[in-house]
Amino acid sequence: MQISSIIAIYILFWVISAFIMLPIGIRTHDEMGEAKIKGQADSAPANFRPKIVLVRATLLASALFALFYANYIFGWITAETFAWDS
Instruction: Give the CA dihedral 61, 76, 79, 16, nearest 10 degrees.
Output: -10
List Cα–Cα distances, 38 to 28, 31, 35, 53, in angstroms: 15, 17, 9, 27
Cα distance between residue 67 and residue 43, in whole Å: 35
Residue 36 domain boundaries: 3-81
Position 86 pLDDT exceeds 60: no
65 within some domain: yes
Dump pLDDT digits (tens) for 23-58. Answer: 999 999 999 999 888 999 988 999 999 999 999 999
73 within some domain: yes
Q: Buried b / exposed e across 37-50, counting CB within 10 Å, b at 16+?
A: eeeeeeeebeeeee
**Residue 85's pLDDT band (cuts 50, 70, 90):** low
Position 84 pLDDT exceeds 90: no
- Number of structural domains the chain divides into: 1
86 within some domain: no
pLDDT at 63: 98
52 within some domain: yes
